[in-house]
Each structure stands twice: as structure tokens, then as C-alpha cells.
Structure 1
Amino acid sequence: GKKVVTAADVLAGKVGIGRGNALVIGGGMVGCEVADWLASRGLDQPTGSVHVTMVEMLQDIGMAEIPQTRMLLIPRLEQKGVKWITSAPVKQLTEDGAVYTKDGRDETICGMDFIIIACGATSVDDLSEKIKDKVPEVYSIGDAKKARKALEAIAEAAEIARKI
């Protein structure tokens, strides 16, 4: 059957993506990262390549990336044959793809072997709840506080380090 998996599980190596067509829902930082990784992986695998298509609701992909990173990323994705559809919010997943809205019309993309969910990142902070009664102070930083870029997490860590 078709596989619907999260980008986090793909990038962590928890799920394998074989050769075939992969649909990435979300063209933000995580979507671009997983698309880049999958397209690269396919090139050096004897089993063949992974053809990647991203669907993004915003007008362009990688909008939250640092401009210098984005300038390198977009041509690299193009070179690897990654395709993307922008200004296209996904309405629902199908057996082998998705239905999205583009220019006021519903469109369907099908023929996908894998669907990777790379949108709506949320923070996970289980640890601070478990240890708050055992230690004098607990500071949540980085993605434990709010899902975002590494640069912001590093700045936050430096600020907390100065405080304590």
C-alpha cells in the first residue's frame, strides 16, 4: 500500500523511502530539506531514484529560509529534478496523492508511492514537565519552546547562559 509518513521520521531514518514518486506536503524549511535529501539519496542508490514533488500553500518554497541559504537551495532542488506547486493549499490526501486548490480550482496529483507530511511543525517539550520538581530551575529553549530555525535557538541558548 501507499505510505504516509512524517518528514521528521524520514529525516531521522525511522522510515525507509524506496525508489518511486514522493509527494511532500509543505514547501517550507522542513519540506525543502526532506525533498533535497530524498532527491540526493536517489542519485547514488543502485535501486534508482526518488522523484520528488512538493505542494506548498505559500507563493514560493523555502520562504522562512535565510536568503543566502535559499539562493543555494532553489537551484540545487531544480538541478536534482525536484518539482513544486505553489499557492496550492492541500485539501485532502488520496490513495496515491492529494487534492489541492490552485487558482480557485481543485486539482489532483496522483501516482505517488510515498506521501511525506512536512507542514505544521510543533514544539515538543516533555522533559521540562518531568523534571521541574526535581531541579531548582528549568529553561525551555530551541524547538522545545517553539518550532523554528537553529539560529534562533542558538541565540536563545546564549541569552539563557548569560542569565544563569
Structure 2
Amino acid sequence: MISQFGQELYKVPHRILDHRVFVNGEIESFLDNFEVKRNDSEVEKLFQVTEIVGSLKYDLSERCVALGNEKLTQLATSVNDLLSGVDALLDQAKVERTPSAELQEARRAREQRKAEFVNNLQHGYQRLDNSFQEKEEEIAELYSDLQLKLNITK
């Protein structure tokens, strides 16, 4: 009996500190409650979504078709009006306009100034070419005189 009592006394700390059975039971109870509550709310939400989709399917489809038919005819007339306006604008743009007298006179004056500028520019180029040729001739004469004075033969 004392040995049995000793064995039981030996198991007491183990029994006091071992909470696994209690904790496992609490976890299972919590999970069961959570799953039941969650499943109920999810099923309820699924039914709500199904009802909403059904009502949208029947109510909105008819409404969309009716509004589409009505608005598409309005849109077609608006697009046709816009196209006719664009065609009229293109026809106006294609009409050749004769320039005014002032514009023609200004063009002639610009062309005349351009011709004078080009003429003056060519005259200036010609003067530069002439002066270079004169300098080349002068330098050639100076070298030939220098060669004669120094008696250098080519």
C-alpha cells in the first residue's frame, strides 16, 4: 500500500502539470464552434450573393437592352451629324483661295530683296576672288624679283 501510495505520489506532479488533455479539448471545442459559426455566415453570404446575381440577371438585362436601343439611335444620329460637319469642313479647306493684293505685293518685295541680297553676295565673292588673284600675282612677282637679286636658279 505504501508502494502504491508512493507511485501515486510520484505521478501527482505529472498530473498537475500535464494540461495537454484539457488544452486539446478546449482547442477542439473552439474549432467546432468557429467552424459552425463561420460556415453559417458563409452559407448566408452565398445565398445573398445568389439572390443579388439573380435579380441583376433578370432586371438589369432587360433595362440594359432597352437603354442601349434608345441611346444607340441617339448616338448614331450624333455621329452622322459630326461626319457631315467634318465633310463640310474638308470641302471648305479644299477651296483654293487667291492671295490678296497686299500679300502678292509683299511676296514680290521679298523676292526682290532676296535677289538683291544674292546679287550683292555674289559681287562680294567676286571682289574677294579678284583680290586674292592680285595678291597671288604680286607675291609671285616678289619671289621672282628676289630670285633674280639673289641669283637663285629654279
Which TM-score band applies after superposition, normalised by the shorter structure?
A: under 0.3
Q: Which has the higher contact order (CA 8 A, sep 6+)?
A: 1
TM-score by length of 1: 0.13
Compute the TM-score of the two structures, normalised by the length of structure 2: 0.14
Higher helix content, 1 or 2: 2
